[in-house]
A and B are shown apart, each in its own frame.
Chain A
Amino acid sequence: MRPRRAVSATRLPHEILKRVFSYLYLRDLAACMRVCRHWFSVLEHYCSPVWEYHTRREVPDSALSDPYMFGELTSFKEKLRAFHFAWNPKDSSRNNFLRTNGKIGVSTGVHAWEIVWEGPLGTVAVIGVATKHAAMQCHGYIPLLGSDDQSWGWNLVDNQVIHNGTMRPYPGTNNPPKYQPLSYAYYNLTLLVELYFEKGSEFLGVAFTQIPPVKLYPAMCAVYGNTEITLIYMGPTIVG
């Protein structure tokens, strides 16, 4: 019998690779994508059954069937990615100063999160970014986010941006419209070396410059009891 070389793993049918990949965790899939072009081609499709399998495994059904939650994210991989970037339940204040951070931080590149504020703004409603060292709890009705040098926030109630306890009006236009409490609000928080916000698709100007290149997490701060805030990571974006 002639000596036989094992079949080249680069010629394998997609079906078999998908089956193998569905046994692996995301960490291993990240490695598999960089093995060769053929393997990458199996995993690059955002709706591949492999991503579907992992999305259904990790993301709660209630979130997947929610028409608003992933409204603009149609593929399974995007949904899974958004879920990974979402609020971290372990990282929040225990009293009614709710302040939660995202699970994944970013330090370089341009990243966008969509923030949907559902319910009244209350007296304090701040969105922004924080390092992992920022304070998580405090006494009294004060905007926590932006109160120290570890976080940068924008108070939606009085249109002020805050960092290290210093406030400054934002957006910088004359008489910017105050946002109506008791209504839906969509904010896009975009981060590069500068932090700027968009409301819907309206660019509101740069809020902070000279943000240090440390790992930052999306964060929010609210005092009103029934506020629901949704955070959806929209992916690294292109400036333009």
Chain B
Amino acid sequence: MATESANGVSSPELNERDVVITTNDNRNFTVKIGVARVSKTINNMIQDLGESLDLSSGIPLPNVDGPIFEKVLEWCEEHKNAPEIKVEQDPHTRERKWFTMTEWEEEYFRKFLSHLWDLAMAANYLEIPSLYYYTCQKLAERIKGRTPEQIREMFGIEDDLTEEEKAEIRRTNVWCTY
């Protein structure tokens, strides 16, 4: 059953149809299926429901709230026809290659800089590899070269380690800084 209906759902006409998605704060978003399925989680739900999919009654997303889903949808709209991204390693340095972002993507992250952790969580749950990997890379970019104090301040993290604990962690990991 899954394969037949899945084939049916993949048709281009269906991508143009609307689906209603309900976030955990009971907001309804009417989205083109072609955009919504950038999320593998939503795509799987659409495929699983197959013929029985009632496009008007909506797909519930219990783990994402409206304001974040709005931002995620902006990404999906821009990336609806984008090819799957690949995580690659440089064969010489064995470092993970950093993704090169487009002007649009750079602007997107500049706009939502204070929501990077939410975006990473949502993208992880919704299985949107491009958004997930790019957001994590952005977060790493922000952490790079900063002191623990600066990192805490930037992300509003409470300092819950004692001075002794911090000194001990520093002492036993000092080799990392060479």
* Interface positions of A (Cβ within 8 A of B): 1, 4, 6-10, 12-13, 15-16, 19-37, 39-40, 53, 56-58, 81, 84-85, 103-104, 109, 236
Contact = CB atoms under 8 A, between A and B. Distances in A.
B98 A23 contact: yes
B67 A32 contact: no
A33 B157 CA distance: 13
Contacts of A84: 175-176, 178
Interface of B: 65-67, 93-96, 98, 114-115, 117-118, 120-121, 124, 132-133, 136-137, 139-141, 143-148, 151-152, 155-161, 166, 169-178
Contacts of B139: 20
Nearest to B122: A7
Nearest to B145: A28
Given A7-B121, A28-B145, A84-B178, A33 B96 contact: no
A37 B161 contact: yes
B172 A236 contact: yes
B144 A24 contact: yes
A173 B95 CA distance: 52
Contacts of A16: 117, 120-121, 124, 136
30 contacts: A6-B115, A6-B155, A6-B156, A7-B121, A9-B117, A9-B157, A13-B124, A19-B136, A20-B120, A22-B96, A23-B98, A23-B141, A25-B144, A26-B177, A28-B143, A29-B176, A30-B176, A31-B143, A31-B151, A34-B148, A34-B166, A34-B170, A36-B157, A36-B158, A39-B157, A40-B161, A57-B94, A58-B94, A84-B176, A104-B175
Contacts of B171: 109
Contacts of A39: 157
Nearest to A19: B136
A26 B176 contact: yes
Nearest to B89: A57
A32 B177 contact: no
Q: Which 6 A-B pairs have the closest CB atoms?
A: A23-B140, A26-B176, A30-B176, A34-B148, A9-B155, A57-B94
A101 B166 CA distance: 30
B101 to A, nearest CB: 14
A35 B151 contact: yes
A20 B159 contact: no
Given A7-B117, A26-B177, A32 B169 contact: no
A4 B68 CA distance: 10
